[in-house]
Structure 1
Amino acid sequence: MNRCGTHGSTKVNKGHNFVYAWVGNSVTQCPDQCAWPFVQPVYGPKVPPLVAPNGDIGVDGMIINIATVLAGTVMNPFDGGYFQGPATAPLEAVTACTRIFGSGAYPGYPGSLLVDKRTNVSYNAQGMKGRKYLLPAMWDPHTSTCKTLV
């Protein structure tokens, strides 16, 4: 496969559409793309990779990709919803903010993040039972900026 995840729709019955999303294994599929910033990229700046919040580079990379694909599925389920640019190569709510996780992000640097002093993991969101996650920024059409959680 040549992508970390995708979404789309298909007709299953007359007048009924089925929306789907797919995310691949971040470790076996282009890890420097699909599991970044937990894996050092082949090309670009050689900054040390971040420590994965849940201790599994593949799963933590998949969480980033699931968030990206889920946002696109919800906001642009039938390729006529919210996106920027041409319909043949749309930038959706999260793909417009690729590789931005915290304030001050730039190519090769994910931005300022929270760091757990005990485990040294980087994150920007906290879930139930203290689980930590790294979630991508989303495009805010009102301010024309990528909004991050931290």
Structure 2
Amino acid sequence: MAKPRTLESGQWELWDSWMQAQRLLARELDRDLQRDHGISKAEFSVLVTLHRAAEGRMRVGELAESLAWEKSRVAHQLTRMESRELVDRTEGRSGRRIGIGLTAKGRNVVENAVLGHADNIRRYFFETLTPEQAAAIHVWSRQIVDRFEARSGEGSDGNAAKSADH
């Protein structure tokens, strides 16, 4: 095993700046979702994932896997969203709730939120980058994702990350 090494001061500065930028960007995007659409980042992630699913429905386990969340977290989130009439659950023959889908209200909320969220991502992120910087960040991000997916055996389709991190 290789001996651990510290980072150089410039590397620490880069790391700290990147972490701060990521936190600030996430905070602003979260605030905008709440203010403009009345939903949290977690609710947005669930709604977008269901919206992309066939007929807007999924099994709860599939939703958890797609979001890379624990099933208990998904269950608690769905209970809150069901009370707000954003999603509805379907029951299997045994009476056990197994499926989840968008309600008409949930579909309307996500369709409006996606447009606003995309505009905010463009404004806060893409408008600050040159095309070359965006391309470099894309390549670098893909390398990081591929490295961790290879270690965990997920493959390189990136579905979990794509759904959960919008």
Task: Indicate whether the TM-score tops 0.5.
Answer: no
Of structures 1 and 2, the larger Rg is shown by 2
TM-score (norm 1): 0.23
Greater helix fraction, Structure 1 or Structure 2 = 2
Structure with more contact order per residue of length (Cα contacts < 8 Å, sep ≥ 6): 2
For normalisation by structure 2, the TM-score amounts to 0.21
Structure with a larger share of its residues in strand:
1
